Amino acid sequence: MSNHGPLHTILFDLDGTLVDSADLILASWRHTMDAHFEEPPAEDVWLRTLGQPLRAQFGYLVDTAEEVQAMVETYLKHNFREHERLIRPFPRVSETLVELRANGIRIGVVTSKASAGTARSLAACTLDEALFDVIVTSDEPVPHKPDPAPIRLALERLDASPETAAYVGDSVWDIRAGHAADVTTMAALWGPFSERELAIERPHIMLDTIDEVLRYIAPPEVPQPSL
């Protein structure tokens, strides 16, 4: 455990953490690369940038904003068409979120995905947006991961302290952003990044399954009888 206190607030990444979208993301990436390049970039480029907003990912590959926009449109058209067929929830996600809420823990989503895609992903995996106290997407006018700004924005909206908050994510960008925001960092080992890749970032906690997060929450307050 870190030097922080028992957790009252837990923020989650979306793709690769709450929803299993690796097949969908990779299929949309391949489709976009085939549409825009005669010789598509190697797929390790995809993994190195996975977890960043689309515009940042594509900005590494082309020179102009117009090219980036065209690639984003190609990607999203394919992604939305194949969304319900290829996305699925990870085991124990819904049950864990419900149990966190039942224990008085505030929960949120901080994702590099835009708000439209975030809503679509949550709905496809039957995760009610009302479960979350805050949702921060890449549509917010702040720098995004690995910058700590979106995590700090979520904490600000919840009036929550970083000392009793955690960020759970599957990518190196998640861990870097969490460290920079001074929250407890939890690496989700069920996503596409390997344990070795995540261990290099020195997360405070490694989680094999999402329900392990319940071990670190603050015990619920018991009302004291009036005298």
| pLDDT tens, position by position, 135-159 | 999 999 999 999 999 999 999 999 9
Mean model confidence pLDDT for the chain? 91
Topology agreement, domain 9-20+88-216 and domain 22-86: no
- Is CATH 1.10.110.30 the classification given to domain 22-86? no
C-beta separation of 21 from 124 below 8 A? no
Q: What are the extents of the domains in the chain? A: 9-20+88-216, 22-86
The closest alpha carbon to 107, from 154, 67, 71, belongs to 154
Among 184, 190, 183, which Cα is nearest to 211's?
190
The reported pLDDT for the residue numbered 223 is 54
Q: Which residues contact 194 (CB under 8 A, 6 or more apart)?
A: none
Whether 58 has a pLDDT exceeding 60, the answer reads yes
Residues 32-56 have a mean pLDDT of: 83
Third-level CATH fold of 9-20+88-216: Rossmann fold (3.40.50)
> Which of helix, strand or coil describes residue 12?
strand
Amino acid of residue 129: E
DSSP state letter for 19: E
How long, in residues, is the chain? Answer: 227
What amino acid positions are annotated as catalytic residues? 13
